[in-house]
Amino acid sequence: MFFTFKFFRKKPRVYTKIESHIYGIITELLKVSSTDINVDELGGKYYLSNEEQHFKVTILSNDYVIRLTNTHDSVAEKYDKVFVEDVLKAVKEEKHRRMEVVYDSITNSIEKMAERLHNRLIESNEQESKSVRRLETTKHVKTKKANY
């Protein structure tokens, strides 16, 4: 039984030398926070752009084409479907991770703002209560003086 599972296990994909190089370039670009990731999911287009390094990548998922562009050259090649899907998986995961970071940051900001507002309301209510107590005390003292 144990051997049958080993038999059906999917073997890892081995990329060609060029595919490995392209995949390495794209994953390194994704690691750099200054790389912009833009997606046109309806058109099946994915764009990576790093202005600092003057490097752009366009992935056309419907045609399995990847275009690499720098200041001197632009090369577009059609690649194996599985390879392009693996590249897109890496791009989508990084895009999702970045969105989570932004979402967490926004959520934290909202929570801090709500906490400050809550504390401010408590302080405001306490000050109003003190003012009301002072007003009641002053009113009570004036009525006592009037009765003497």
In a domain, 39, yes or no: yes
In a domain, 94, yes or no: no
In a domain, 95, yes or no: no
Which tokens sit at 18? 């060029």
In a domain, 93, yes or no: no
Q: Is 14 in contact with 23 (CB distance < 8 Å)?
A: no
Per-residue pLDDT band at 71 (split at 50, 70, 90): confident
Q: What total number of domains does the chain contain?
A: 1
Residues 6+ apart with CB under 8 A from 5: none
- pTM, two decimals, is 0.65
In a domain, 31, yes or no: yes
The secondary structure of 50-61 as a DSSP string is ETTTTEEEEEET
Query: Which domain, by its residues, includes 19?
Result: 2-86
Which tokens sit at 47? 């764009």
In a domain, 7, yes or no: yes
Residue 3 has pLDDT above 70, yes or no: no
In a domain, 35, yes or no: yes
Q: Is 52 in contact with 71 (CB distance < 8 Å)?
A: no
Q: Is 56 in contact with 69 (CB distance < 8 Å)?
A: yes
Which pLDDT tens digit goes with each residue over 72-107? Answer: 899 999 999 999 999 999 999 999 999 998 888 899
